[in-house]
Chain A
Amino acid sequence: MAIAKVCGIETEYGIQVRGAESNPVAASSALINAYVSGKLRSIDWDFEHERPGADARGFSYPDSFAPEIEMQLVNAVLTNGARYYVDHAHPEVSTPECLTALEVVRFDRAAEEIVRASMAAAKRLLNDGSEIVTYKNNSDGKGNSYGCHENYLVDRATPFARIVSQITPHFVSRQVFCGAGKVGSELAGTSSSSVPYQISQRADFFEEEVGLETTLKRPIVNTRDEPHCDPQKYRRLHVIVGDANMSEVATYLKVGTTAIVLAMIEDDMIGSELTLANPVSAIRQISQDPLLTTTVALRDGTRLTAIELQWALLERARKYERSHGLACVGDDVAVDLLARWETVLAGLESDRNSVAHWVDWVAKQRLVDGFADRHQLSPSDAKLKAIDLQYHDMRADRCLATRVGLETLISEHDVRTAMTEPPESTRAYFRGKCLQRWPSEIVAANWDSMVFDVGREPLRRVPMLEPLRGTAKLVGALFDECTTAAELLARLDA
């Protein structure tokens, strides 16, 4: 049976300084420091076990550009179990490990509010009228892209080649409900008249079917094999193909449907019928057709629309639910996920405006088209690109996504709580609670361990190789019973 689909999202935000000169690395550091300095003593991230260059296919790529990790940059661990850091030239938040798609939405929303709070804190500190502004999008419209990556726990026993061939049809077609929409195209040879609007922010940037890179020649399936947990038992599928969503329901569907498809792959319930003939051209063709009528070729010659591919996956998911159950994605959310998956496909098929409160690219397109109609603008008008950009603007007074009537799943109270409280369902609970209780005794933390300094003894590393240990259920009592970190370590030894 498929293992629990522990999951999370890492989002790089676009960043710009208004009213002063600055470079994006310095601005990202200033933004994060402004937040962290007001909250807690900064805990260093521990890089000991990071292996971003390892390839899941079991071989190394001497010529490939393994992702660099800039050790000197700001890198904080938050009490909600998240990581907040500078990645290349962007501020990035990784949610803590979550057990369900709904939890991911909660912590992704909390990350947005952390970034907004950082902008406010930075504005107070800068004190010269300048302002650091961030955007939850994936492209600057000029050929530069930055990512919103998802991560899913997968059984190591599942052959990686099966994951690649069977997840690809989902990665190519799921954009119909989780694409964030983009005015124009950044592909060479396109123009605002040939592609005035497309479904996905990211499709322009994918050039390979499978590979290790994330910054150039981006692959639809990324092979980074860095599980951040017991490597004998698990993989972490690192998904780079998605858009950052402003819509909570889009994030929920993106993560939830992908978790379900991965569970079906683990249990070998997908089959090879949906294998695509040419995934790279298919992901672009689908993105460039907001009418959703384009068909793409399967390997057997059949042609299907993206919606038809999604119906085929949903049909398999319904069968899978009956034969295996969906406990691995959370019984409480699985029923809701399947119902919404069906509703969104039916809505896109019949009247896509009926799902404009769920689907970012539909919501954004209504705004762009409505504005263009009203003012008789050409597709290349800068105002339409400004609407695109401001849809993702993290300034409350400029953000358009918060004004288009998107449905929310998480209450404001729950979002606020998730800014400082970890999820109870994974090892992130242990990380977050330790940071809340004993920040001065923790010298380093990362996904799969924490290092304590409790005085006399040598530094103590607590391994956390099991994502589902360290939950509130398993260690909640321990935190109630221990008053010092030394006591906690003694109890863990016992």
Chain B
Amino acid sequence: MAEHTQKQKQASSRTEETLEDLPVGAPQGEKLKAELDDLLDEIDDVLETNAEDFVKSYVQKGGE
């Protein structure tokens, strides 16, 4: 039972967190812009080296 109680406690603190975490505004926008610039700086390291082949070879069968 101790485990259940603990989980419930986590669940309720989780909810409080999401309720408090609402505002969106300029600071968020500036932070994102800075993050985007950083990411654009490093993206060549993350992107597949041969984009053409990478994109061409990604072929899926339909699903669902």
Contacts and interface: CB of A to CB of B under 8 A. Distances in A.
Given A135-B58, A411-B14, 14 more contacts: A12-B63, A12-B64, A90-B61, A90-B63, A102-B18, A144-B59, A146-B64, A354-B25, A354-B29, A371-B43, A374-B40, A389-B54, A400-B46, A405-B32
Contacts of B39: 367, 400, 403-404
Contact of A387 (B4, B47, B59): B47
Central interface residue in B32, B37, B48, B57, by most chain A CB within 10 Å = B32
B31 to A, nearest CB: 7
Given A367-B39, A382-B52, A411-B14, A214 B64 contact: yes
A4 interface: no
Contact of B35 (A15, A214, A390, A405): A405
B63 A145 contact: yes
Contacts of A340: 22
Contact-size category for A: 35 or more
B19 A336 contact: yes
A141 B47 contact: no
The 9 A-B residue pairs whose C-beta atoms are closest, nearest first, are: A146-B63, A89-B61, A386-B51, A214-B64, A140-B60, A147-B64, A382-B52, A382-B51, A383-B51
Interface of B is mostly: helix
A297 to B, nearest CB: 29
B43 to A, nearest CB: 6
Nearest to B21: A407
A480 interface: yes
Contacts of A130: none
Contacts of B56: 382
A102 B15 contact: yes
26 contacts: A14-B58, A24-B60, A24-B61, A140-B59, A144-B59, A147-B64, A215-B64, A336-B15, A343-B22, A347-B24, A353-B32, A354-B25, A354-B26, A354-B28, A355-B24, A371-B40, A382-B51, A382-B56, A386-B51, A386-B55, A389-B55, A390-B46, A390-B47, A404-B36, A405-B31, A421-B7
